[in-house]
Amino acid sequence: MKRCFAFLLTVFVALSLTAFAHAGTYPDKSIKIIVPFNPGGGGEQGARLLEKDFKEKVGQPLSFIYKPGGTGLIGMVELSRQKPDGYTIGIHSYPLLMLDIITGRAGYTLDSFDFISLLCLEEVYLAVRADSPAQALSLLAQGAVPVLPDPECLCREHLHPDALVDAILAKRNLGTRITDAPVVVGIGPGFTAGEDCHAVVETMRGHTLGRAIYQGSALPNTNIPGLIGGYAGERVLRAPADGIFTRILDIGDEVQPGDIAGTVNGQPMKCTIGGVVRGILPSGTPVHRGMKSGDVDPRCQPEYCTTASDKALAVGGGALEAILHLTGALR
């Protein structure tokens, strides 16, 4: 028997296991369910839906084991390592499972698990790179999400978008106009709702983070990095000189104070605190002395580098709220 795996949970998971209940004395003890997400989230709540019916149908309680991180990867690796005796099951999103397998992040395959049942369905979209506005429209017609690299946003003249979000995060407006689309949203300082955009989303950590502003501007840039794990400015890696940056460490690498993350013309860019490299410029990038070239997350959780942060989720949610509100989709 392979490890039991429930993807996108359903109460039918418990019913599916009733067949095992009639096989000898199985199960004669509680059954572990590995939840690859934090307690309180949607995945955990879905798993909790099984709890009552599972005990009634199978005769044994579920024992919840939380293994969050890596968008579910850590929990699924843990599940794949369990003894295949029917006493450990798991819950996960099938698209996320497949993504880990396709990208090679997973140390397992679909054959590592027995699929028990489906809990719910969700729409999944495939994002594909486009090299021109015409190709982007073609991909869109095929049901894919086109990703069109366009630093100057010249594609807006061809695509005529219903909504445009300026998320360059340059701390200033580099040319976005309120007339660029029926709905224009600016992210962070540098925009004024009612003048160069229809709404601004707050990016400063604090009580108003992620809030959609329909009149006025976001809080001004303080040039002070947000406090994470008790550190602020110490987290930032800055270029030691003018020149061309060469990366030595990669995102996700663990570091100690004094470790060299990169160099500029042979001069080292050293880490001042321990943790995990959360961001770093690619080799070949022109930099000037003091320019932010990377940062270290002192919480030392590598999985944070592959998942959206609390700030990113709040800001993204604010942008979505603004678009839905301004287009009338919420009416």
Is residue 68 over pLDDT 90?
no
Q: Using pLDDT thresholds of 50, 70 and 90, give the confidence band for residue 188.
A: very high
User: Whole-model pTM above 0.75?
Assistant: no
- Residue 203: per-residue pLDDT: 95
Asked whether residue 2 carries a pLDDT value surpassing 70, the answer given is no
Q: Decide yes or no: CATH 2.40.50.100 for domain 233-298.
A: yes
CA 174 to chain centre: 27
Looking at residue 227, what is its pLDDT? 80
What does the pLDDT read at residue 24? Answer: 60
Greater model confidence, 114 or 19? 114
Where are the domains positioned within the chain? 3-118, 125-160, 161-228+310-331, 233-298
The yes/no answer on whether domain 3-118 falls in CATH 3.40.50 is yes
**129 phi-psi bin (left φ>0, alpha ψ -120 to 50, beta other):** beta
Query: Rounded distance, CA 278 to CA 296, Å?
Result: 5
Fold match, 3-118 / 233-298: no
> 161: pLDDT confidence band, cut at 50, 70 and 90?
very high
